[in-house]
């Protein structure tokens, strides 16, 4: 009788351990996968950039290449560098969703000196409505089955490539 007790206890502990492991694995499967995309912002480097002191070349040395740049005249004049980073979360089988975005815009004067450093977030973004218009074509639109079956009945024995049809598309000439 004493040998039964440790076996029961061991079986019970094993069952509890298995149940804990399965429930932990199930809960871990529900947690979202977080993915960082784009430029990884380093605050130390950003603090080294001083408006009206740091040049464009120094910004490139400190921050690296920008995510994108603009040559459109901004304010007093020059280029702008944009360092863009985004954080996406993916839950189970759903598509990734952007939960955070940081855009650091560095504006330069015509003399290629930093004029301003600006910060933008996800709330500052604007949705752009892309036009997906297409030019309609003349004639019928055929489905896949329509294309397959439209050629049935178009074959004629008289137009065999060896014999020819006996008529020529050019008037006054005998056929092939």
Q: Is residue 165 part of a domain?
A: no
136, part of any domain? no
Q: In this structure, is residue 131 part of a structural domain?
A: no
CA–CA separation, 30 vs 92, rounded Å? 7
Say yes or no to pLDDT of 10 above 70: yes
Q: What is the pLDDT of residues 53-95, one digit of tens each?
A: 999 999 999 999 999 998 776 555 688 999 999 999 998 788 9
Domain assignment present for 174: no
- The β-bridge relationship of strands 33-38 and 97-108 is unpaired
- Asked if the structure places residue 92 within a domain, the reply is yes
- How many residues make up the chain in this entry? 176
Residue span of the structural domain in which 102 resides: 30-124
**Residue 9 has which token pair?**
């206890």
> What pLDDT is attached to residue 16?
80
Alpha carbon separation from 31 to 23, 42, 89, 165 (Å, rounded): 13, 27, 10, 72
| Cα–Cα dist 30/93, whole Å | 10
**Total structural domains in the chain?**
1
Per-residue pLDDT, 91: 86
Report if residue 96 sits inside a domain: yes
Is the pTM above the cut of 0.75? no
Percent of the chain at pLDDT above 70? Answer: 74
């Amino acid at each position: 009788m004493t040998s039964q007790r440790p076996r029961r206890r061991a079986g019970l502990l094993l069952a509890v351990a298995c149940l804990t492991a399965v429930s932990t694995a199930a809960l871990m499967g529900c947690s979202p996968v977080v993915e960082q995309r784009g430029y990884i912002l380093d605050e130390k480097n950003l603090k080294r950039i001083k408006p009206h002191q740091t040049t464009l070349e120094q910004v490139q040395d400190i921050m690296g290449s920008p995510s994108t740049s603009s040559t459109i005249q901004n304010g007093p004049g020059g280029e702008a560098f944009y360092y863009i980073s985004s954080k996406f979360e993916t839950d189970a089988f759903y598509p990734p969703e952007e939960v955070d975005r940081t855009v650091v815009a560095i504006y330069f004067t015509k003399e290629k000196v930093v004029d301003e450093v600006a910060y933008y977030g996800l709330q500052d973004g604007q949705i752009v409505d892309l036009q997906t218009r297409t030019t309609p074509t003349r004639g019928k639109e055929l489905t896949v089955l329509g294309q397959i079956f439209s050629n049935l009945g178009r074959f004629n024995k008289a137009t065999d490539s060896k014999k020819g049809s006996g008529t020529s598309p050019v008037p006054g000439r005998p056929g092939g």
